[in-house]
């Protein structure tokens, strides 16, 4: 069994896999990482391997526990990965983006794939049919756009997102929602169409916390998958078992 861990700034996503089958998924605050880890090992004594991706400093006691209990892989930019990385600054490439591309390689082999991760930032990542990672783009996420509009203006309120908004706003609040949500959807549609014009039979993957809210109909296949990053980490772990 594999234990897959994605540690963010405030919370940790943990998943237990038997080969490529998800057995359990947990989300908990980073502050109780060690306590939750002990519980996981108690409930799943069959865990033999683990992988950790982190964007912030992790308590060394957590690392010690993982090293003690499992064959542990700490994801780094120089970790063995199942694709050819053509990013010009590989040492700066986000670990989350590496995991997402790995998932695309695993689930959509020999296909051109655009992965859109709609989280704090919106990232675009392109994997070719030849299993080459070419790069992509980073854009402000949905919540960042709402907060920025409020912070950098004197009178505009902080507005929350909603699933469907009219094109024409009738109030300041609905005007902000239209500008940000409809504007972002049009931005995504334009990016997808441009990629599709350059890469034939493009498959589009939508993932991340705001993916459902921003999902847009296109002629391309779009697969919304909230576990896509975890699946990518598990695939990297499996890949490294053979190295």
Helical H runs in 178-227? 183-198, 211-214
Task: Output the domain CATH number for residue 50.
Answer: 3.30.420.40
* Residue linked to tokens 């050819």: 84
pLDDT of residue 243: 75
Beta-strand (E) ranges in the chain? 2-7, 11-18, 21-29, 49-54, 71-74, 84-85, 113-118, 121-127, 132-140, 203-207, 221-224
Mean pLDDT across the chain: 93
Asked whether residue 23 falls in the same domain as residue 42, the answer is yes
**Under 8 Å between Cβ of 202 and 113:** yes
Q: Is 149 exposed, middle or buried (0-12, 13-18, 19+ CB in 10 A)?
A: middle
- Which pTM does this prediction carry? 0.92
- What is the model's pLDDT at position 217? 67
Q: Let me know whether 163 and 216 are in one domain.
A: yes
Range with top average pLDDT, 67-81, 155-169, 220-234: 67-81
Distances (CA, A) of 6 to 25, 52, 168: 11, 6, 40
Taking residues 130-145, report their average pLDDT. Answer: 96
Average pLDDT of the segment spanning 50-63: 92
Same domain (yes/no): 208, 98: yes
User: At 65, is the pLDDT very low, low, confident or very high (cuts 50, 70, 90)?
Assistant: very high
pLDDT exceeds cutoff 70 at 21: yes
Active site residues: 96
Rg (CA), the chain: 19
Asked if 69 and 149 sit in the same domain, the reply is no
pLDDT at 114: 96
* 150-190 residue pLDDT tens: 999 999 999 999 888 999 999 999 999 999 999 999 999 99
Do 104 and 129 fall into the same domain? yes
Residues 169 and 135 in one domain: yes
Domain boundary among 24, 45, 74: 74
Query: Domain span at residue 25?
Result: 2-74
Element (H, E) at 66: helix 60-69
- The reply to whether 210 and 102 lie within a common domain is yes
């Amino acid at each position: 069994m594999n234990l897959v861990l994605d540690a963010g700034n405030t919370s940790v996503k943990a998943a237990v896999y038997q080969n490529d089958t998800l057995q359990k998924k947990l989300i908990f605050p980073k502050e109780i990482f060690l306590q939750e880890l002990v519980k996981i090992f108690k409930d799943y004594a069959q865990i033999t391997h683990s992988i950790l991706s982190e964007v912030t400093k992790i308590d060394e006691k957590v690392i010690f526990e993982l090293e003690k209990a499992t064959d542990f892989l700490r994801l780094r930019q120089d970790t063995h990965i199942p694709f050819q990385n053509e990013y010009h600054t590989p040492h700066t490439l986000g670990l989350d983006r590496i995991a997402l591309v790995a998932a695309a390689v695993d689930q959509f082999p020999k296909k051109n794939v655009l992965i859109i991760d709609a989280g704090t930032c919106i990232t675009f990542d392109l994997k070719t049919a030849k299993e080459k990672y070419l790069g992509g783009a980073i854009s402000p996420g949905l919540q960042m756009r709402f907060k920025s509009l409020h912070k950098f203006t004197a009178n505009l309120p902080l507005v929350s997102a909603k699933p469907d908004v009219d094109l024409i706003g009738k109030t300041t609040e609905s005007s902000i929602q239209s500008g940000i949500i409809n504007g972002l959807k049009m931005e995504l549609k334009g990016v997808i169409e441009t990629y599709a014009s350059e890469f034939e039979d493009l498959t589009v993957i939508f993932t991340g916390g705001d993916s459902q809210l921003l999902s847009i109909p296109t002629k391309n296949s779009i697969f919304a998958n909230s576990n896509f990053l975890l699946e990518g980490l598990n695939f990297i772990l499996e890949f490294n078992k053979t190295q």
